[in-house]
Amino acid sequence: MYQHKRRRPVAEINVVPYIDVMLVLLIIFMATAPLITHGVKVDLPQMEESDLVDTKDAPPIIASIDAEGRYYVSVGTDPEAPMDAVEVAAVIKLKLQQNPDTPVMIKGSGRVSYQEVLLLMDFLKNAGVPSVGLMTKSFEDS
């Protein structure tokens, strides 16, 4: 005689749909991750090092930051006197009102924090400086 065995219900979760959803989400995150970058727009120079700043027309205004975080400006009454960031921005704004084509450069010590450089850049931006260049030391100078 033939007996029917009753099947017991299976209590397992089918994980195949979850794996499919996970792979779709992975693809979405991989595609959108490069679009979510934050940063500052930087115009990189496309010429030789000696041609970066043409000093015949107007010598550049150089705002310097030393290792202790003191600010200096290459123009003004006393270029060797330390200033705060607001004074630096005011001096540079005054010089740019006299000659708007003067390039502005920031020269920072290698030991100064990046936050100090960004703070000075922000003060210069608020003072109306259209663009700022960052000075570096070439390998030949070391």
Short-list 103, 108, 96, CA closest to 64: 108
pLDDT band at 129 (very low <50, low <70, confident <90, very high): confident
pLDDT band at 142 (very low <50, low <70, confident <90, very high): very low
Instruction: Average the pLDDT over each of 51-55, 67-71, 113-117 and give the range with the smallest value.
Output: 51-55
Distance CA 129, CA 96 (A): 8
- What's the whole-number average pLDDT of the chain? 78
**49-65 confidence digits (pLDDT tens):** 554 445 456 688 888 88
Question: Would you report the helix, strand and coil content of the chain in percent, each value rounded to 5?
Answer: 40, 10, 50
* Pairwise pLDDT comparison (120 vs 11), residue with the higher score: 120
Residue ranges per structural domain of the chain: 47-133
Query: Do residues 112 and 65 make contact, with C-beta atoms less than 8 angstroms apart?
Result: yes
CATH of domain 47-133: 3.30.420.270
Distance CA 53, CA 90 (A): 23
Distances (CA, A) of 115 to 69, 108, 112, 121: 10, 11, 8, 10
- Reduced to 3 states, what is the DSSP secondary structure of residue 105? strand
pLDDT band at 141 (very low <50, low <70, confident <90, very high): very low
pLDDT at 137 exceeding the cut of 80: no
Q: H-helix or E-strand containing 115?
A: helix 114-126
